[in-house]
Amino acid sequence: GAVVSQHPSRVICKSGTSVKIECRSLDFQATTMFWYRQFPKKSLMLMATSNEGSKATYEQGVEKDKFLINHASLTLSTLTVTSAHPEDSSFYICSAKTSGNGADTQYFGPGTRLTVL
Amino acid sequence: QKEVEQNSGPLSVPEGAIASLNCTYSDRVSQSFFWYRQYSGKSPELIMSIYSNGDKEDGRFTAQLNKASQYVSLLIRDSQPSDSATYLCAVSTYGNKLVFGAGTILRVKS
């Protein structure tokens, strides 16, 4: 149980284009999903908290107009990197929070490696 | 500011030994504590969660929590080369977002 998927696993795009990353909870409903990014040899940096049916809450320093988050259902959240630039190249990871016992446990998706040329 | 501190390592242990990973946290009202394992190029995988003072065992893994000392640890018995990874300590307060430590690199030598 508690499986989270992400798609795509890897994407290469040209500078200036937009990239959409999907995060799905496969066997549970997730009222809250989180988006992180991780640079090489660094720890995870929380970008935003996504709640189903409401606006995402962004961490300080994260541009909400650049990183668009939509949490349309209890099993799907999307992150769109708009007008991507080489400095946006990173490993983007989503997580989903379960409900019930251990309700604050986060399960991570496999991540999406974005390379912007 | 809420902080979670870990020794970055690398921690090197021989195969079959006990690996001991430590973590301290600054927010005294923290409620939930997690250990994640992350292999290079992969996303974090949950190993253990612990909520109460004392020990919690799951197979070769034991998590230990001491809220008075604001300290949480992970013991890995009979360490295997496949345990070589970065171990992330994470702390949350009242079900809110997780605060991660920078991680400890573990190397198990065969």
At A97, is the pLDDT very low, low, confident or very high (cuts 50, 70, 90)? confident
**How far apart are the C-alpha atoms of A44 and A38, rounded to whole Å?**
5
pLDDT in tens, A46-57: 999 998 888 899
- Chain B contact for A106, CB < 8 A? yes
CB contact under 8 A, B36 and A108: yes
CB contact under 8 A, A104 and B44: no
Cis-peptide into A8, omega within 30 deg: yes
CB contact under 8 A, A93 and B97: no
Closest CA relative to residue B91, chosen from B22, B34, B47:
B34
CB contact under 8 A, B44 and A42: no
Radius of gyration (C-alpha) of chain B in whole angstroms: 13
The answer to whether the CB of B68 falls within 8 A of the CB of B52 is: no
Query: What would the mean pLDDT of A75-80 be, rounded to a whole number?
Result: 95
Nearest to A93 among B43, B95, B103 (CB): B43
